[in-house]
Amino acid sequence: MAAPRFESIPHVAHVERLDGRDADPSAPPALLVEVPHGADQREHYDALRSRMVGTFPDDLHVYFHVNTDIGAYQYGRRVAEQLVQARPNLSALVIRCLIPRTFIDTNRREDATENLASAGLTAGVAPYVRHPDDVKLLLSLHRAYVGLAERAYPLVCDAGGFALSPHTYGPRSMDIAKIDDSIVHELRKAHLPENWDRWPVRPELDFITVAPDGKRYAPSGLVESLTQAYQAAGIHCSDSATYKLHPSAQGSRWAMQYPDRFLCLEVRRDLLVEAYTPFEQMTVRADQAERFARPLSAAIAARLR
């Protein structure tokens, strides 16, 4: 029986299947790369903003650029490319969300609230989204994307495959207690030279494998072997130093459902881009996407049949 087909959904997700030269196109993919924060281009923001009718904080695009996971799709897709090159009998499925987390976060339960800020996370629907028509639109997009993910994870993982959820984060942990209408002002203040240098520097790469209760959800030995591989490449790694597998995050859901077949990680954005310009569109360096992808694809390939 042929594996179900997955197709892109306009304004929701770009879906791509990569088949190795000897792969069976009817078989389930061996790798899922799911990028819930893949809306990283200004055109993604503008497309959704133009469909909304409410009023929003001035210059909200600033928050979009600061908060979007630029580079996550690029190194995640490179993992998929490298895998099918190294193992030409395998296929990979890449799902890139096109919904800006500025308005709704598809890596959250739709009912997640702004109280998540205390855990360093954004809410489901942003608190400055108030117009009922906008909320309705965002929830419909959220449900469409989550529905896609809910079909993809079982297809891949139940068949013995592996799922990767790549993310990126800013270079420093800013002390912004709440995401609300003042977010742009707070971000500009936090980035002033007299403030910026006092924020703690984040790890170059952080695996997200530990729940708030301390329980770890990760394939046995994978983080350890990846840490060694990244260190050999001159990249310093940590494990859940910045974020935990928060129960309101969809990533936590998949980690708990497939603890031996799922990995979530964060890479510092400034290490992936040509120039770190947090209030503007950034360009990912292909060589850096390659650098961060290589250990992942090798480790995943070694675990697949």
Judge whether 138 and 194 are in contact, CB under 8 Å: no
Judge whether 260 and 221 are in contact, CB under 8 Å: no
Quick one: pLDDT at residue 36? 98
DSSP secondary structure code for residue 117 in this structure: G
3-state secondary structure of 72: helix
What is d(CA 45, CA 11) in angstroms, rounded to the nearest whole number? 10
CA angle centred on 266, ends 263 and 272, rounded to 5°: 125
Q: Is 89 exposed, middle or buried (0-12, 13-18, 19+ CB in 10 A)?
A: middle
Quick one: pLDDT at residue 244? 94
Judge whether 262 and 217 are in contact, CB under 8 Å: yes
DSSP secondary structure code for residue 85 in this structure: H
Other Cβ atoms within 10 Å of 156 Cβ, number: 26
Quick one: pLDDT at residue 78? 99
DSSP secondary structure code for residue 204 in this structure: S
What is the pTM (predicted TM-score) of this model? 0.95
What is d(CA 65, CA 45) in angstroms, rounded to the nearest whole number? 9
CB-side exposure of 236: number of CA atoms within 13 Å? 5
What is d(CA 244, CA 101) in angstroms, rounded to the nearest whole number? 19
Closest by alpha carbon to 66, among 269, 266, 271, 251? 269
Amino acid at 201: V
What is the phi/psi pair of residue 178, to 5°? -150, 140
Judge whether 205 and 268 are in contact, CB under 8 Å: yes
The CATH homologous superfamily to which domain 13-303 belongs is: Zn-dependent exopeptidases (3.40.630.40)
Q: Which residue's entry shows tokens 């530990």?
A: 210
Judge whether 263 and 295 are in contact, CB under 8 Å: no
Quick one: pLDDT at residue 113? 52
pLDDT in tens, the chain (305 residues): 677 889 999 999 999 999 999 999 999 999 999 999 999 999 999 999 999 999 999 999 999 999 999 999 999 999 999 999 999 999 999 999 999 999 999 998 766 554 444 444 445 899 999 999 999 999 999 999 999 999 999 999 999 999 999 999 999 999 998 899 999 999 999 999 999 999 999 999 999 999 999 999 999 999 999 999 999 999 999 999 999 998 889 999 999 999 999 999 999 999 999 999 999 999 999 999 999 999 999 999 999 98
Residue boundaries of the structural domains of the chain: 13-303
Quick one: pLDDT at residue 111? 64
Judge whether 14 and 8 are in contact, CB under 8 Å: yes
Other Cβ atoms within 10 Å of 68 Cβ, number: 24
What is d(CA 21, CA 1) in angstroms, rounded to the nearest whole number? 20
